[in-house]
Amino acid sequence: MPVIDIHNHFFPSSWPDLAERYGTPNWPWIKHTEPGQADIMVGDRFFRHIYSACWDPEVRLREMDRDGIDVQVISATPVLFGYERPAEHALDCARLFNDAALELCSRGKGRLKALCQVPLQDTDAACKELSRCMRAGHLGVQIGNHVGDKNLDNPGVVTFLQHCADEGAAVLVHPWEMFGRERMPKYMMPWTVGMPAETQLSVVAMILSGAFDRLPSTLRICFAHGGGSFAFLLGRLENAWHRQPVARGESEHPPSYYLNRFYTDSAVFDQRSLQFLVGTMGPDRVILGSDYPFPLGEERVGSLIRQSNLSLEAKAQLLGRNAIRFLGIKDVQEAEDTKSGLVADTSSTPEPEKLTYSSYLKVPELLELQRPQSVPEHHDELLFILVHQTYELWFKELLHDLDAVVANLQKAGAAPQSRDEVYEAARLLRRCTEITRVLVEQFTILETMLPTHFLAFRSLLEPASGFQSEQFREIEFLCGLKDEKMLRYHRPTAEAYASLKRRLEEPSLRDVFFGALQAMGKLPPAAEGATERERFEARARAVHELYKDEHHHRDWIDVCERLTEFDELVVSWRLRHIQLVERIIGIRMGTGGSTGASYLKLTLDKKFFPELWEARTLLTE
Ligand code: HEM
């Protein structure tokens, strides 16, 4: 996979005197100060110091090799946009620099590609120049994040973005002409404070104006500098959207819904910020961007991503794969084969949102979910996390299937003549038993962890404990083993508490099963004032009756057998868990505050369907 930097800049070594050409002052010009060094001047004012990497492909390629970068997608600098000037001047200037960019690329051994610039103050001219550039070999366009006082939701800009989508052009949004300059005269604050706020404003304007709702999802747009302050303040925006109707603007969905409609680059210069950005946007939405070779650019391009704690998979996405999608490169394999010869697919509209194995299964997101606590990371902590996560995934499937069993038995109770639901319940219960069998087996994997290895990071886990497994407790409650006391472990998490409370109040699988037997006339309604013991015995007798009449009740007996097997396997799970606990921590107390193995042994007598077991005692030869 080639490593691609999508946000970096160039300047040609010379260009015509623009002030003279257009007869207006304060155009940028280049002042070479010594070999390989130059200053960009705006009129008489010093703007920025630059060096030969800006114009000399040899220097650039050498530094790309040093940093392990295969391809750079170069763009001009916002100071050349000229959006505030007459459109014909901005267009002419755009043409000069767009052609200069391709000229530089032509000397880049296939490793340099370009984004053009357009006179965005004139939608028609901007669209035409974009089309010309796409035909000439540009991969897309870099635009400023506003045109004077018009944000990106301005109808003219939206029309241009639609045109970009139609042309298959990637759009990189770069902040420029920062607001509030009068309050930020010093310390480069327009760059450190103004730019992030400008970019946030652009993203928010596009979301709340409904621009993303109107534009096609084929539009590939990326916001520079990690999207500015957008990701960090998304929570605030989301809160306002939900609580204040006026804050919704014209957007059809809450802001977080639109995260898959745009990319950000990775130019955030801090590991925690990168983690946060990737956590918010998703690892498929952040692309290597360096701001090279400017003074505020990443000194060793790609090092922030390479040195991060992101998974290998996520790093590969940020370093190359996402860029390939963003740029609409024809084919990943092709790009990989030629490494340098990236080919833009302008022949057809790219489909970045097309379903793939990875996007369907959310593989990148899944692989991002393991966050060891140990520093330096203990080798076995990953296994510890993965095994628990695997259990939780299977618990999810168990709840899904057990809920369906309940629904089928309810239907069977409502229509006792129909047999389909009884067969379906038995089929699903078979799946539950097979899953639980796997869950019993899985403990052996964790037993490859030495007790000393677990102890090396155990203290970091407190007070996290299996007691807090909401889904495990839900399974117990759903099956009929309801213990209100256990709710206390879930009080800190309102959602978990609420779903467990709901499970506590809902009829359990056990209730529904006996409800169906009652509806079939196999279980007489309990007499008023009957004790719990009497009710229990009546239910056991009803099961006993089913077993005695195998000829008529084969289907229901099958359900009983599956329920019994499930019950049996859950006890096996409890037993294997205890063995694991004893093997790894002996008779130590649990992180959840229980007495550990000795507490867990008390749970071995728990049964979901005790009447099914009692019925066996009632049977005679
Ligand atoms: C090193 C491995 C493990 C150890 C040392 C361990 C230890 C314990 C201990 C001591 C308890 C009692 C509660 C407490 O005081 O914290 C407990 C409960 C529990 N553990 Fe584990 N456990 C391990 C692995 C697992 C795994 C892989 C799962 C899979 C989901 C799991 C799920 C549970 C559940 C659901 C409970 C609550 C059981 C109940 O209340 O009946 N544990 N564990």
Long-range contacts for 435-441 (Cβ within 8 Å, ≥24 apart)?
Answer: 435/394, 435/397, 435/398, 435/401, 436/398, 436/566, 436/569, 436/570, 436/572, 436/573, 437/569, 438/394, 439/391, 439/394, 439/573, 440/569, 440/572, 440/573, 440/576
Give tens-digit pLDDT for 2-54: 999 999 999 999 999 999 999 999 999 999 999 999 999 999 999 999 999 99
Region 211-235: mean pLDDT is: 97
Region 440-452: mean pLDDT is: 97
pLDDT at 513: 98
Region 113-132: mean pLDDT is: 98
Which residue CA neighbors atom 32 of ligand 1 most closely?
466
Which residue in 72, 92, 69 sits closest to 82, CA to CA? 92
pLDDT at 266: 98
- Cα–ligand 1 centroid distance for 115 (angstroms): 55
Residue among 453, 461, 465 to mutate when testing ligand 1 (max atoms within 8 A of CB): 465
pLDDT at 482: 96
> How would residue 346 be classed by pLDDT, with cut points 50, 70 and 90?
very low
Buried b (16+ CB within 10 A) or exposed e, 357-368: ebeeeeebeebb
Atom of ligand 1 nearest to the CA of 473: 35
Lookup: tokens for 98: 């767009």
- Cα–ligand 1 centroid distance for 89 (angstroms): 71
pLDDT at 347: 45
Atom of ligand 1 nearest to the CA of 443: 27
Dist. CA 210–CA 151, nearest whole Å: 13
- Cα–ligand 1 centroid distance for 455 (angstroms): 15
pLDDT at 32: 97
Which residue CA neighbors atom 19 of ligand 1 most closely?
466
Please count the other Cβ atoms lying within 10 Å of the Cβ belonging to residue 284: 22
Dist. CA 618–CA 537, nearest whole Å: 10
- Cα–ligand 1 centroid distance for 384 (angstroms): 12
Place of tokens 């008390």: 602
Give tens-digit pLDDT for 68-93: 999 999 999 999 999 999 999 999 99
C-beta separation of 405 from 428 below 8 A: yes
C-beta separation of 611 from 539 below 8 A: yes
- Cα–ligand 1 centroid distance for 367 (angstroms): 24
> How would residue 375 be classed by pLDDT, with cut points 50, 70 and 90?
confident
Which residue ranges have their beta carbon within 6 Å of ligand 1? 387-388, 391, 446, 454, 465-467, 469, 472, 577, 580-581, 584-585, 590-594, 596, 599-600, 603
Rounded alpha-carbon distances, angstroms, from residue 403 to 121, 398, 429: 58, 8, 11
Which residue in 262, 278, 344, 349 sits closest to 314, CA to CA? 278
DSSP category for residue 487? G
- Cα–ligand 1 centroid distance for 499 (angstroms): 21
Burial class (CB in 10 A: 0-12, 13-18, 19+), 117: buried
C-beta separation of 278 from 365 below 8 A: no
Lookup: tokens for 108: 């880049």
Which residue CA neighbors atom 35 of ligand 1 most closely?
466
> Picking from 96-110, 216-230, 271-285, 485-499, which range would have the lowest pLDDT averaged per residue?
485-499
Which residue CA neighbors atom 22 of ligand 1 most closely?
581
> How would residue 342 be classed by pLDDT, with cut points 50, 70 and 90?
low
Q: Residue 333: is its pLDDT beyond 50?
A: no
Atom of ligand 1 nearest to the CA of 594: 15
- Cα–ligand 1 centroid distance for 307 (angstroms): 34
> How would residue 481 be classed by pLDDT, with cut points 50, 70 and 90?
very high
Atom of ligand 1 nearest to the CA of 465: 16
3-class DSSP state of 537? helix
Dist. CA 480–CA 467, nearest whole Å: 18
- Cα–ligand 1 centroid distance for 591 (angstroms): 9
Dist. CA 432–CA 378, nearest whole Å: 34
C-beta separation of 361 from 369 below 8 A: no
Element spanning 424, H or E: helix 420-446
- Cα–ligand 1 centroid distance for 488 (angstroms): 17
Region 143-172: mean pLDDT is: 97
- Cα–ligand 1 centroid distance for 474 (angstroms): 15
C-beta separation of 265 from 8 below 8 A: no
Lookup: tokens for 602: 């008390």
Question: Mean pLDDT for the chain?
Answer: 93
Which residue in 79, 167, 114, 105 sits closest to 5, CA to CA? 114
> Is the omega angle on the peptide bond into residue 507 within 30 degrees of 0, that is, cis?
no
Give tens-digit pLDDT for 518-569: 999 999 999 999 999 999 999 999 999 999 999 999 999 999 999 999 999 9
pLDDT at 335: 46
Dist. CA 302–CA 285, nearest whole Å: 16
Q: How many residues does the chain have?
A: 621
C-beta separation of 513 from 559 below 8 A: yes
Dist. CA 368–CA 311, nearest whole Å: 7
Dist. CA 322–CA 284, nearest whole Å: 6
> How would residue 418 be classed by pLDDT, with cut points 50, 70 and 90?
confident
Q: Residue 353: is its pLDDT beyond 60?
A: no
Please count the other Cβ atoms lying within 10 Å of the Cβ belonging to residue 276: 15
pLDDT at 343: 56
Atom of ligand 1 nearest to the CA of 395: 30
pLDDT at 85: 97
pLDDT at 254: 95
pTM reported for the whole predicted model: 0.56
DSSP category for residue 292? B
Which residue CA neighbors atom 42 of ligand 1 most closely?
466
- Cα–ligand 1 centroid distance for 467 (angstroms): 7
Residue among 390, 489, 570, 600 to mutate when testing ligand 1 (max atoms within 8 A of CB): 600
Which residue CA neighbors atom 4 of ligand 1 most closely?
581
Atom of ligand 1 nearest to the CA of 476: 41
Residue among 391, 467, 488, 582 to mutate when testing ligand 1 (max atoms within 8 A of CB): 467
HSE-up (13 A, CA, CB side) for residue 334: 11
- Cα–ligand 1 centroid distance for 577 (angstroms): 7
- Cα–ligand 1 centroid distance for 465 (angstroms): 6
Which residues touch 315 (CB under 8 Å, ≥6 apart)? 305, 306, 308
- Cα–ligand 1 centroid distance for 456 (angstroms): 18
Place of tokens 């000194």: 299
Region 157-166: mean pLDDT is: 97
pLDDT at 330: 65
Element spanning 382, H or E: helix 381-414
Which residue CA neighbors atom 27 of ligand 1 most closely?
388
Q: Residue 352: is its pLDDT beyond 60?
A: no
Q: Residue 594: is its pLDDT beyond 90?
A: yes
